[in-house]
Every structure is written in C-alpha cells, then in structure tokens.
Amino acid sequence: MNSDSCVFCRICRKRASGSFIYEDANVLAFLDTIPLNEGHTLIVPRKHYETILEVPEELVALLYKVVKRVALAVKESTKADGISITQQNGKAAGQEIPHLHIHVIPRYDGQRLPRFGEVPEANREKLNQVAADIRLHLQGHLTGKII
Ligand code: ZN
C-alpha cells in the first residue's frame, strides 16, 4: 500500500477530512469516524508504518506519550469511568486499516462496548464538536512536569 491509497496518510496530509485533537511533527490524534463511544480517538504516526513492529522505538515512545495525554483529556471531556487503549497488528489480529493506529476509547461502568460494524458513522459536525471539547481538556496535559 502506498501513502496515497492509505486513508490515514490522506488524513495526516489534510487531504481527507478529520476531526483533529492533536498534531506535532511525528504524531497526530483525531476522532474515529465510527466511534465505539463518543470521544473514541485514534493516535497515529505521521509517517506510514503498517504495524507497531516496524516503528523505531523512539517513535513508539513519542506515540504513547501522546496516547497518555489524549487519554487524560478524553476521560475528562467525556466523564468516562475508564479508558481502553488498544492496538491491533496485522489482519489476523483484527487490524482493518494497515497504518498503525492506537485506539483511546471511553468506557462506562456496566456498558458492553459495541463491536466494530454495530455502530454507524458519526456526522462530521458532531465529531468536530467532540474534538473541540477534548482539545480544551488537552491543553492542561501538554506541559506536565515530572517532579
Ligand atoms: Zn498510511
């Protein structure tokens, strides 16, 4: 797969629409268009890698730094009881889009998480509202200090 045929590469280059939460030189975070719960976010490397197995360790660290910050912001924004962080590698593992992506999914006490295929695509206006609120919460987590 080359980067023009990859939907996540197109989103990273702003050639396909996305509801963005965060971006820097290496990492982007945007909402899943088929959210399992409201606030379901994907964190991806800007550069095309199919799975985490090909990614340099330094980039893995940068990705998960963003994952943690986004998870905090999503949890606050959605008032979720918990957060799932999941990541599939390869078709056999259930990976549908072959560009590494890490899911951050709000979870609620007693709620069964729907499966992919059970939920409809969200409308862009709603996704943009949700993204704007998560971005507000993210501001507080971008400059955390280690004491
Ligand atoms: Zn890609």
pLDDT in tens, 31-89: 999 999 999 999 999 999 999 999 999 999 999 999 999 999 999 999 999 999 999 99
What does the pLDDT read at residue 9? 97
- What is the 7 CA–ligand 1 centroid distance (Å)? 6
What does the pLDDT read at residue 116? 78
Backbone angles phi, psi at 3, to 5 degrees: -70, -20
Domain ranges across the chain:
7-143
* pLDDT tens sequence across 73-83: 999 999 999 99
Q: Decide if 101 is catalytic.
A: yes
Class of CATH domain 7-143 = alpha beta
What does the pLDDT read at residue 114? 85
Which amino acid, 116?
Answer: F
Mean pLDDT across the chain, nearest whole number? Answer: 93
Active-site residue, from 101, 103, 137, 141: 101
**Do 133 and 77 meet the contact criterion of CB atoms below 8 Å apart?**
yes
Tokens of 131: 């993204």
pLDDT at 97 over 80: yes
**Do 62 and 46 meet the contact criterion of CB atoms below 8 Å apart?**
no
